[in-house]
Amino acid sequence: MSDAVQSLVDDLRAEAERDRPTEETPEVGIVMGSDSDLPVMDGAYDALTELGFEEVTDDDDPPEARFTFETYVVSAHRTPNLMYAYAETARERGLDVLIAGAGGKSADLPNMTASIAYPLPVIGVPVQEKSVSSVIGMPTGAPLVAVDAGKSFNAALSAVQVLARAHPELETRLEAYHEALQDGVGTVSRELHERGTATFRASRK
Protein backbone atom coordinates (compact mmCIF):
# COMPACT_ATOMS: atom_id res chain seq x y z
CA MET A 1 0.00 0.00 0.00
CA SER A 2 1.39 3.43 -0.92
CA ASP A 3 2.16 6.02 1.73
CA ALA A 4 -0.59 8.30 0.42
CA VAL A 5 -3.22 5.56 0.65
CA GLN A 6 -1.96 4.34 4.04
CA SER A 7 -2.24 7.88 5.38
CA LEU A 8 -5.88 8.10 4.31
CA VAL A 9 -6.66 4.67 5.78
CA ASP A 10 -5.04 5.68 9.05
CA ASP A 11 -7.03 8.93 9.14
CA LEU A 12 -10.32 7.10 8.56
CA ARG A 13 -9.65 4.54 11.27
CA ALA A 14 -8.51 7.21 13.72
CA GLU A 15 -11.65 9.24 13.07
CA ALA A 16 -13.78 6.15 13.66
CA GLU A 17 -12.27 5.80 17.13
CA ARG A 18 -12.92 9.41 18.15
CA ASP A 19 -16.63 8.92 18.86
CA ARG A 20 -17.63 12.49 18.01
CA PRO A 21 -21.14 13.81 18.75
CA THR A 22 -23.53 13.27 15.83
CA GLU A 23 -23.81 17.01 15.26
CA GLU A 24 -20.08 17.18 14.48
CA THR A 25 -19.93 14.37 11.91
CA PRO A 26 -21.07 14.39 8.27
CA GLU A 27 -24.40 12.77 7.51
CA VAL A 28 -23.66 11.99 3.85
CA GLY A 29 -20.56 10.47 2.30
CA ILE A 30 -19.82 10.82 -1.42
CA VAL A 31 -17.28 8.49 -2.99
CA MET A 32 -16.26 8.05 -6.61
CA GLY A 33 -13.88 5.73 -8.38
CA SER A 34 -11.79 8.44 -10.04
CA ASP A 35 -11.54 12.22 -10.14
CA SER A 36 -12.62 11.90 -13.78
CA ASP A 37 -16.05 11.05 -12.35
CA LEU A 38 -16.29 14.44 -10.66
CA PRO A 39 -18.13 16.24 -13.50
CA VAL A 40 -20.97 13.74 -13.01
CA MET A 41 -20.75 13.50 -9.23
CA ASP A 42 -20.79 17.31 -8.97
CA GLY A 43 -24.56 16.97 -9.19
CA ALA A 44 -24.63 15.47 -5.70
CA TYR A 45 -22.56 18.40 -4.43
CA ASP A 46 -24.96 20.85 -6.07
CA ALA A 47 -28.05 19.20 -4.59
CA LEU A 48 -26.67 19.00 -1.08
CA THR A 49 -25.39 22.56 -1.01
CA GLU A 50 -28.69 23.80 -2.45
CA LEU A 51 -30.41 22.14 0.50
CA GLY A 52 -28.10 23.84 3.00
CA PHE A 53 -25.45 21.17 3.56
CA GLU A 54 -21.80 22.15 3.81
CA GLU A 55 -18.76 20.08 2.87
CA VAL A 56 -16.37 18.82 5.55
CA THR A 57 -12.76 19.26 4.44
CA ASP A 58 -11.12 19.21 7.88
CA ASP A 59 -12.41 16.82 10.56
CA ASP A 60 -10.86 18.96 13.26
CA ASP A 61 -12.56 22.11 12.00
CA PRO A 62 -16.01 21.10 10.73
CA PRO A 63 -18.38 23.68 9.20
CA GLU A 64 -20.92 25.39 11.41
CA ALA A 65 -23.83 24.01 9.39
CA ARG A 66 -25.91 21.38 11.16
CA PHE A 67 -25.93 19.07 8.13
CA THR A 68 -22.72 18.22 6.30
CA PHE A 69 -21.15 15.83 3.81
CA GLU A 70 -17.69 14.58 2.81
CA THR A 71 -16.16 13.62 -0.54
CA TYR A 72 -13.43 11.12 -1.40
CA VAL A 73 -11.94 9.32 -4.42
CA VAL A 74 -11.95 5.61 -3.56
CA SER A 75 -11.12 3.13 -6.32
CA ALA A 76 -12.45 -0.40 -5.90
CA HIS A 77 -9.82 -1.78 -8.27
CA ARG A 78 -6.74 0.41 -7.64
CA THR A 79 -7.14 1.10 -3.91
CA PRO A 80 -9.23 -1.75 -2.45
CA ASN A 81 -7.74 -1.22 1.01
CA LEU A 82 -8.91 2.39 1.01
CA MET A 83 -12.37 1.39 -0.23
CA TYR A 84 -12.65 -1.21 2.51
CA ALA A 85 -11.49 1.19 5.23
CA TYR A 86 -13.86 3.90 4.05
CA ALA A 87 -16.92 1.66 3.98
CA GLU A 88 -16.02 -0.29 7.12
CA THR A 89 -15.61 2.87 9.22
CA ALA A 90 -18.55 4.81 7.77
CA ARG A 91 -20.98 4.08 10.61
CA GLU A 92 -18.44 4.71 13.36
CA ARG A 93 -17.54 8.02 11.74
CA GLY A 94 -21.17 9.10 12.00
CA LEU A 95 -22.31 8.77 8.40
CA ASP A 96 -25.96 7.91 7.80
CA VAL A 97 -26.10 7.37 4.05
CA LEU A 98 -23.52 6.98 1.27
CA ILE A 99 -23.54 7.98 -2.39
CA ALA A 100 -21.13 5.96 -4.53
CA GLY A 101 -20.42 6.64 -8.19
CA ALA A 102 -18.34 4.67 -10.65
CA GLY A 103 -17.88 4.42 -14.40
CA GLY A 104 -16.81 1.85 -16.95
CA LYS A 105 -18.19 -1.65 -17.49
CA SER A 106 -16.76 -2.84 -14.18
CA ALA A 107 -18.29 -0.18 -11.94
CA ASP A 108 -17.84 -2.13 -8.72
CA LEU A 109 -17.41 0.69 -6.19
CA PRO A 110 -21.13 1.16 -5.35
CA ASN A 111 -21.69 -2.59 -5.00
CA MET A 112 -18.64 -3.25 -2.85
CA THR A 113 -19.27 -0.18 -0.72
CA ALA A 114 -22.83 -1.35 -0.08
CA SER A 115 -21.62 -4.81 0.88
CA ILE A 116 -18.99 -3.57 3.32
CA ALA A 117 -20.97 -0.66 4.81
CA TYR A 118 -24.16 -2.70 5.35
CA PRO A 119 -26.61 -1.89 6.90
CA LEU A 120 -25.95 1.74 5.95
CA PRO A 121 -28.00 2.66 2.86
CA VAL A 122 -25.91 3.21 -0.25
CA ILE A 123 -27.16 4.99 -3.37
CA GLY A 124 -25.28 4.00 -6.50
CA VAL A 125 -24.61 6.35 -9.40
CA PRO A 126 -23.60 4.79 -12.73
CA VAL A 127 -21.36 7.48 -14.18
CA GLN A 128 -21.95 6.22 -17.73
CA GLU A 129 -24.71 4.27 -19.48
CA LYS A 130 -22.40 1.28 -19.80
CA SER A 131 -22.03 1.25 -16.01
CA VAL A 132 -25.75 0.74 -15.27
CA SER A 133 -25.85 -3.06 -15.37
CA SER A 134 -22.78 -3.33 -13.15
CA VAL A 135 -24.17 -0.93 -10.53
CA ILE A 136 -27.67 -2.39 -10.33
CA GLY A 137 -26.63 -6.03 -10.56
CA MET A 138 -26.66 -6.87 -6.86
CA PRO A 139 -27.98 -10.28 -5.75
CA THR A 140 -30.98 -10.73 -3.48
CA GLY A 141 -30.06 -9.98 0.12
CA ALA A 142 -27.41 -7.42 -0.82
CA PRO A 143 -29.41 -4.21 -1.37
CA LEU A 144 -28.20 -1.23 -3.34
CA VAL A 145 -30.47 1.60 -4.41
CA ALA A 146 -29.38 3.17 -7.71
CA VAL A 147 -30.29 6.13 -9.89
CA ASP A 148 -30.06 6.39 -13.66
CA ALA A 149 -26.73 7.05 -15.35
CA GLY A 150 -25.30 10.43 -14.46
CA LYS A 151 -28.10 11.40 -12.06
CA SER A 152 -26.02 12.12 -8.96
CA PHE A 153 -28.26 15.12 -8.21
CA ASN A 154 -31.17 12.72 -7.73
CA ALA A 155 -28.96 10.45 -5.61
CA ALA A 156 -28.31 13.33 -3.24
CA LEU A 157 -32.01 14.22 -3.08
CA SER A 158 -32.73 10.60 -2.19
CA ALA A 159 -30.06 10.69 0.50
CA VAL A 160 -31.70 13.73 2.06
CA GLN A 161 -35.09 12.01 1.86
CA VAL A 162 -33.62 9.18 3.94
CA LEU A 163 -32.36 11.66 6.51
CA ALA A 164 -35.56 13.71 6.54
CA ARG A 165 -37.54 11.08 8.41
CA ALA A 166 -35.36 11.75 11.45
CA HIS A 167 -34.86 15.47 10.81
CA PRO A 168 -38.06 17.49 10.15
CA GLU A 169 -35.91 20.49 9.18
CA LEU A 170 -34.68 18.57 6.14
CA GLU A 171 -38.22 17.56 5.25
CA THR A 172 -39.15 21.24 5.22
CA ARG A 173 -36.19 22.04 2.97
CA LEU A 174 -37.17 19.27 0.54
CA GLU A 175 -40.74 20.54 0.41
CA ALA A 176 -39.51 24.09 -0.29
CA TYR A 177 -37.25 22.77 -3.07
CA HIS A 178 -40.16 20.89 -4.65
CA GLU A 179 -42.43 23.92 -4.45
CA ALA A 180 -39.77 26.00 -6.20
CA LEU A 181 -39.68 23.44 -9.02
CA GLN A 182 -43.46 23.67 -9.32
CA ASP A 183 -43.33 27.46 -9.41
CA GLY A 184 -40.75 27.30 -12.19
CA VAL A 185 -42.96 25.06 -14.32
CA GLY A 186 -46.01 27.25 -13.64
CA THR A 187 -44.14 30.41 -14.62
CA VAL A 188 -42.87 28.88 -17.86
CA SER A 189 -46.29 27.48 -18.69
CA ARG A 190 -47.97 30.86 -18.31
CA GLU A 191 -45.25 32.60 -20.34
CA LEU A 192 -45.55 30.07 -23.16
CA HIS A 193 -49.33 30.32 -23.23
CA GLU A 194 -49.51 34.12 -23.09
CA ARG A 195 -46.61 34.90 -25.45
CA GLY A 196 -47.31 32.12 -27.94
CA THR A 197 -44.99 29.40 -29.14
CA ALA A 198 -43.10 31.39 -31.79
CA THR A 199 -42.32 34.35 -29.51
CA PHE A 200 -41.48 32.13 -26.56
CA ARG A 201 -39.16 29.98 -28.67
CA ALA A 202 -37.39 33.03 -30.07
CA SER A 203 -36.82 34.39 -26.56
CA ARG A 204 -35.04 31.18 -25.57
CA LYS A 205 -32.50 31.28 -28.41
- Per-residue pLDDT band for 141 (boundaries 50, 70, 90) equals confident
- pLDDT over 90 (residue 142): no
133 is in an annotated binding site: no
Closest among 95, 49, 51 to 72, alpha carbons compared: 95
Residue 98: C-alpha distances to residues 24, 32, 179, 186 (Å): 17, 11, 26, 34
In this predicted model, what pLDDT tens digit does every residue of 163-180 receive, in sequence order? 999 999 999 999 999 999
- pLDDT over 90 (residue 82): yes
What pLDDT sits at residue 143?
A: 87
Separation of CA 55 from chain center: 12
183 is in an annotated binding site: no
Q: Which residues pair with 32 in a beta bridge?
A: 73, 101
34 is in an annotated binding site: yes
In this predicted model, what pLDDT tens digit does every residue of 94-122 receive, in sequence order? 999 999 999 888 889 999 999 999 999 99
**Strands 28-32 and 122-126, bridge-based pairing:** unpaired
- Per-residue pLDDT band for 152 (boundaries 50, 70, 90) equals very high
Angle (deg, nearest 10), helices 168-195 and 152-164 = 130
CA atoms within 13 A on the CB side of 36: 5
What pLDDT sits at residue 173?
A: 97
